[in-house]
Amino acid sequence: MAGLLAAALAPRAASAAKSKKKFVVQPEFRPQYVSFDSSYAPGTIVIDPRGRFLYLIEDGFTARRYGVGVGRAGRVFRGAAKVGRKEEWPRWTPTKGMIRRQPEKYARYAGGVAGGPHNPLGARALYLYRNGRDTHYRIHGTTEPWTIGRAVSNGCIRMINDHVVDLYARVPVGARVVVL
């Protein structure tokens, strides 16, 4: 799976390499197992927007930690939700709020963008639902990996593509998500 992702992203990576130096993920934002004393059930996703980390709870004492980019102030999802659906190479459509705030940037995409390596949702997306309804917030990949560890998105939780592929394989539809 990682080989397919690398092949799909190769043309963009080659282009990016010409214009700037190679992006390197900071060690703290790489997926790793960490101590996490928790009362959350195994399989729960806990997101700490201030710390810029997503934790997948393994047991009462351990979690798999990933670095994330989060929503700018005022655009952050908070509380509990469930993974309502998952998509590989998802289609992206900006929300009406995004178009209203920045029409010069988003209006041209009002009809949506097909999934693929240039799509802002990246390689995978986990769609967050609350009370059976889509919240319009996502945990998804990104075409801008250098934004991990920052408050940069329109509210979603973004991850490096290889990392969201890993998370996607570990998390079922129905998994609980808690954003602190």
pLDDT above 90: percentage of residues in the chain: 66
Domain segments of the chain: what residues? 27-179
> Does residue 22 carry a pLDDT above 90?
no
User: For the domain 27-179, what is the CATH code?
Assistant: 2.40.440.10
- pLDDT mean over 92-108: 89
Active site residue 136: no
This prediction has a pTM of 0.83
Mean per-residue pLDDT of the chain = 87
Alpha carbons 150 and 158: distance in angstroms, whole number:
10
Active site residue 156: yes
Residue 56 has pLDDT above 60, yes or no: yes
104 phi, psi to nearest 5 deg: -65, -25
- CA-nearest of 179, 155, 159 to 169 is 159
Task: Give the contacts of 19 (CB within 8 A, at least 6 positions apart).
Answer: none
Q: CB count, 10 Å around CB of 169?
A: 10
Kindly name the residue from 118, 136, 140, 163 that is annotated as catalytic. 140
